[in-house]
Amino acid sequence: MRIEDYALIGDMQSAALVGRDGSIDWLCLPRFDSPACFAALLGGDRNGHWWIGPPGRQPATRRRYRPDTLILESEWDTPTGTVRVIDFMPPRDVNPDVVRIVEGVSGTVEVATQLRVRFDYGRIVPWVRRTDGHLQAVGGPDAAWLHSPVPLKGGDYAHRATFHVKAGQRLPFVFTWHPSHEPMPPQIHAEHQLDETESLWKEWVATCTHGGPWRDAVVRSLITLKALTYAPTGGIVAAPTTSLPEDIGGVRNWDYRYCWLRDATMTLEALMNNGYLGEAAEWRSWLLRAIAGRSQDLQIMYGVAGERRLPEMQLDWLDGYEGSRPVRIGNDAVNQLQLDVYGEVMNALYLAGASGLTADQRAWSIQRQLLDYVEEHWDEPDEGLWEVRGPRRHFTHSKVMCWVALDRAVKYVERHGRTGPADRWRRTRDRIHAEVCEHAFDAERNTFTQSYGSSELDASLLLMPMVGFLPADDPRMVGTVAAIEKELMSDGFVLRYPVAEDNDVDGLPGGEGAFLACSFWLVEVMAMQGRRDEAKELFERLLSLRNDLGLLSEEYDPRYSRLVGNFPQAFSHVPLIHAARALSEHDETPKLARDT
C-alpha cells in the first residue's frame, strides 16, 4: 500500500493504520510509542498484520469514515454481492481493543482473514494457543487475544479462516492486548462499543465552532488531532508512526510518536480556536509536569507521559517502507538546542489564557524560569525549527521566536496583571527585533534569509507576520514572500529550504518532498496580505492532496505524486485548520497576526 492508501483508527492512547486492502499493517500497544505488534508497514506480512476481505486482497471498492467519527467503513463489490468491514478502536476502559465487524450488504460473499501477531516491531514470534475457542498469543511481556466468530486454522506461523457472510449478517472480530502476566481481560460487546464510540465522536465534534465553507476538511483534521492526543496525560504526538520516509528509499526516516512542544502548541492553538478549551487545560497540565525542573533542562520533545530519555536506535530486522532504511525508534533530536520552542510554549500559554483558560500561578512561575533562560541564551546558535543535523547556526526563526517569548511576557504584565520585569523584557525583545532586521535581512534582494549571513531562504520566514513580528504588508515581508514564491517553490508547493549536495545545513544526504505545512503557511500569509483569490487557489490544491479520507502525511513528493513522511501528521493538519480560518474571513483587508 502507498502511504495515502491507509486509514487511521484509534482510541486516543494508540492508533492503527488500516490499508485499502483491509489489512491492519501498523499497531503499537498499549501506547503510541510502544513496540508494534503489527509492523508490516515497515517490513512485510511476516512482521505482523491482520487482514480481512474477499480472497485476493484487492483494494476496497470504496471506503469512508462514518460522518464526524473515526469509525472506518470499507466495502468490496464482488460478483456475488457486497461486503462491508467496520473498523474502530473503542474508548479504552483498561485494555486496548481493535474491533472489526464484517457485515453482509447484499448477496452472499466469501471472506477470508489472516492474522500474524509479531511483538516487538515484528521480531518476536509468539506462542499461540486456542482457549475456549479463542486464540491467545504470548511473547515476553505481551499477550493478545482474538475473539472470533469463526474458527481460525494455524500454519506457517499465521492463522487463517475463510467463511461466507450473507446480506444482513454481522460477524464481530475483537483483538485485545494485555500484559502477559495478567489474566484474560473481559470480552467486550462489539456492537455496544460501536454505538458508544460513534456517540462519543459525534458529541465531541458537536463542540466545534468552525462554520466556514471548509468545515468538513476542518472537522476531519480536528478529529485527527484529537486521535493523536494521549488521553491519560493530555500529551499530543506528532504522528502515530515511525520511519515513513521523507524520500522514498532514502535515510530521512524518523520516529514521530512523541510530543514535540512545537507541534503540540500549534495543535493546541487549532483546538482552542475551534472551541476545545478542555484539551487546552489537559495539555497545559501535561506541559507543566513534563518541563518541571530547571529551565536549562527544557527539551524540544517528551514521551506521552512526559518521559525525557528517548534514545534513538535502528531496527535492522525491518527492511523499511519500500526499502527506506534505516528504521528508527527513539529520536536523537531530543538532545538538540532549539530556541524557538521557548517562544512556542510562551505563545501557547498566552493564547490559552486569552481564550478563557483559568490562570495558573504555577504556570507563571515556570514561565518566569523559561524567560530567564531566553534572556541569557537567545543570542546563541542552535539547530533550529527543522532539527538540522548539520552545524548550529543563528537561525532567523529561532531569534524571532525568542522575540515572541519576551513579547508575550510583556503582554502578560501589561494586559493580565502578572508580575515581572517588563521593562527589562521589553528592552531585550526590542534588541532581538533590531538584530534580526539588521543581520537576517538581505537589503539587495529585499528578503529575510534562513540565518545570519546566509543567502538561503527558509519557509519558516512565512511565520513572521503570523506571530506579530512584522505586519504582513510590511515591504520587507512582501519581498520575503515574493522571494519564497520565486525561489523556494517546486511544482507549486513550498519547500522547507534548499536541499542540495553543496548545502550542508541539514547534514543529511538525499532529498525530500514538499513539507505540506509550509504551503499552508503561504496560504495564510496570502490571506493576511489580501491576496484571497491566490490563497484560495493554493488552498484548494493542497486539499486535493489529502487521501480519500481527508488525511495528510508530512510531505508531498511532486516527482511521484505521492504523500511521503509519517502519517497522518499533526503538523500538516494544524496549518490546514489555520488556513481555512484565515480564508473564512469575509472582509478583504489584511488580517491581524494571530497573537492579537
User: For residue 387, what is its C-alpha cell?
Assistant: 532539527
* pLDDT at residue 389, rounded to an integer: 76
76 lies in the same domain as 218: no
Say if 593 falls within a structural domain.
Answer: no
* pLDDT value, residue 503: 57
Number of domains in the chain: 2
Of 202, 234, 264, the last residue of a domain is 202
Alpha-carbon gap, residue 155 to 523, rounded angstroms: 54
Distance CA(273)–CA(279), nearest Å, equals 11
Grid cell 492553538 — which residue? 269
CATH code, domain carrying 46: 2.70.98.40
Q: How far from chain centre, in Å, is Cα 149?
A: 35
% of the chain residues with pLDDT over 90: 83
Confidence bin at 504 (pLDDT 50/70/90): low
Same domain, residue pair 458 and 529? yes
Helix (H) or strand (E) holding 16: strand 15-19
pLDDT for position 590: 37
State residue 588's pLDDT score: 40
Please give the backbone phi and psi of residue 36, each rounded to the nearest 5 degrees, phi first.
Answer: -75, 140
Q: Which of 170-184, 218-232, 275-289 has the lowest mean pLDDT?
A: 275-289
Per-residue pLDDT, 498? 85
Greatest CA span in the chain, whole angstroms? 78
On whether residue 59 sits in a domain, the answer given is yes
As a whole number, mean pLDDT of residues 273-284 equals: 88
Q: Which structural domain range is residue 127 located in?
A: 3-182+189-202
Locate the DSSP E strands across 124-266: 127-131, 134-139, 142-147, 153-155, 158-166, 170-179, 229-230, 235-236, 259-260
Categorize the per-residue pLDDT at 563 as very low, low, confident or very high, splitting at 50, 70 and 90.
very high
pLDDT at position 162 is 98
CB atoms within 10 A of CB 299: 22
Tell me whether residue 592 is in a domain.
no
Do 111 and 149 contact (CB within 8 A), yes or no?
no
H-run or E-run covering 97 = strand 97-116
Q: Calculate the dihedral angle through the C-alpha atoms of 280, 352, 210, 521, rounding to the nearest 10 degrees.
A: -100
What is the rounded average pLDDT of the residues 459-480? 97
Closest listed residue to residue 505, CA positions, set 470, 466, 460, 469: 460
**Cβ 498 vs Cβ 515: under 8 Å:** no
What is the rounded CA–CA span in Å between residue 1 and residue 13? 25
Question: What are the pLDDT digits (tens) for 211-236?
Answer: 889 999 999 999 999 999 999 999 99
What does the alpha-carbon distance between residue 214 and residue 581 come to, in Å, rounded to a whole number?
9
Instruction: Report whether the peptide linkage leading into residue 126 is cis, meaning its omega lies within 30 degrees of zero.
Output: no
State the DSSP string of 404-421.
HHHHHHHHHHHHH---S-
State the alpha helices, DSSP H only, in 450-546: 475-487, 516-528, 532-543
Same domain, 350 and 383: yes
End residue of a domain, out of 173, 202, 231: 202
Which of 151, 170, 202 represents a domain boundary (last residue)? 202
For residue 418, being part of any structural domain is answered with: yes
The answer to whether residue 590 is domain-embedded is: no
Same domain, 435 and 565: yes
Residues 162 and 239 reside in one and the same domain: no
pLDDT exceeds cutoff 80 at 7: yes
Q: Assess whether 171 and 306 both reside in one domain.
A: no
Statement to judge: residues 360 and 231 lie in one domain: yes
Q: What's residue 586's pLDDT?
A: 43
Q: What is the mean pLDDT of residues 266-293?
A: 88
Residue 337: pLDDT band with limits 50, 70, 90: very high
Q: Look at residue 595 and tell me if it is in a domain.
A: no
Predicted local distance difference test score (pLDDT) of residue 265: 82
Cis peptide before 568 (omega within 30 of 0): yes
Mean pLDDT of 18-46: 98
Q: Which amino acid is at 429?
A: R
Q: What is the mean pLDDT of residues 375-389?
A: 92
- CATH code of the domain containing 361: 1.50.10.10
Is 497 part of any domain? yes
Same structural domain, 138 and 224: no
Res 596 pLDDT > 60: no
The 10s digit of each residue's pLDDT in 570-594 is 999 999 999 999 998 744 433 444 5
> What pLDDT is recorded for position 595?
56
Rounded Cα distance between 30 and 147, Å, is 18
Question: Which pLDDT does position 502 carry in this prediction?
Answer: 55
Mark whether 110 and 174 lie in a shared domain. Answer: yes
Q: What's the CA gap between 287 and 285, in Å, rounded? A: 5
Segment 497-503 long-range contacts (CB within 8 Å, at least 24 positions apart) = 497/386, 497/450, 497/456, 497/457, 497/458, 497/459, 498/456, 498/457, 503/456
Q: What is the mean pLDDT of residues 437-445?
A: 97
Mean pLDDT value across residues 67-83: 98
Residues 500-522 have a mean pLDDT of 78
CA separation for the pair 304, 567 (Å, rounded): 18
249 and 290, same structural domain?
Answer: yes
The CA radius of gyration of the chain, in Å to the nearest whole number, is 24
> Within 10 A of 593 (CB to CB), how many other CB atoms are there?
16
97 is a domain residue = yes
Contact (Cβ atoms closer than 8 angstroms) between residue 409 and residue 345: no
pLDDT of residue 507: 63
Backbone angles phi, psi at 145, to 5 degrees: -120, 145
DSSP state, residue 124: B
- For residue 176, the model assigns a pLDDT of 98
Q: Is the dihedral of CA 543, 548, 549, 552 positive or negative?
A: negative
157 in the same domain as 131: yes
Q: What is the mean pLDDT of the chain?
A: 93
316 and 453 share one domain? yes
